Amino acid sequence: MKNPALYLIPVTLGDTPVERVIPSFNTTVVSGLKYFIVENVRSARRFLKKCNPDIDIDSLTFYELNKHTNPNQIADYLQPMKSGESMGVISEAGCPAVADPGADVVAIAQEEGYKVVSLVGPSSILMAVMASGFNGQSFAFHGYLPIDAGERAKKLKQLEARAYNEDQTQVFIETPFRNHKLAEDVLQHCKPQTLLCIAMNISCEDESIVTRSVKAWKGKLPDMHKKPTVFLIYRGGK
């Protein structure tokens, strides 16, 4: 019996050519797998075809893991591993299990003692931190902020305080069609000197990663509608 592994397979962050951001080793791994746990079957099939046009998609088995999945069914997805078959985990974009439901099945694999392998690929969070000019030695990713206006304002002030008190970069995201509202909230509730980095369409042809003070951003926000965006705030000068 083989020693199976659960491979965490990063995908492109947009319509970027696979060869630009995905190592050839990943394609070799992908081509040897028959079972995949994916956030969306259609996009996963499309990505696999881009990795290897000769792959026999119809011979593969997909288990869908997203917000609609019954948590009690997730453990059953690893059944092929009990028979010695390795599996792959694929997110909708970027790295699986980071701000992604794939983390649930990875936790189960760890509990069961299976080998878990993280493959190299694009992470919008790390790439945004890299290009922001902020502290890359201490940063915190908070995912989505509260939807309620009052709670969101409170959270933004808390994150800003941490940026100053702990010298820590604060990173968060929003649903693409609500990006502009989030940015406006940052400008409204944060100090004028606080630094805001807006990182859009990372690794894509129209990538934009720009850092300015809250004061400098006012009245000059870019068009972020439906563009995957990472927001970062950090302490500014006096």
Number of Cα atoms under 13 Å in the Cβ half of residue 76:
8
CB 96 within 8 A of CB 8: yes
Instruction: Report the 10 Å Cβ neighbour count for 208.
Output: 15
Place of tokens 């119809």: 58
DSSP-derived secondary structure letter, 46? H
Between 59 and 1, residue with greater pLDDT: 59
CB 203 within 8 A of CB 12: yes
The overall pTM is greater than 0.85:
yes
Tokens (6 digits) for 117: 């392998």
* CB within 8 Å of 193: residues ≥ 6 apart: 213, 214, 215, 236, 237, 238
Residue 126 to residues 119, 169, 202, Cα–Cα distance (Å): 15, 12, 10
Could you read off the pLDDT of 98-132 as tens digits, one per residue?
887 888 889 999 999 999 999 999 999 999 999 99
Say yes or no to pLDDT of 37 above 90. Answer: yes
Predicted local distance difference test score (pLDDT) of residue 238: 62
Coil, strand or helix at 87: strand
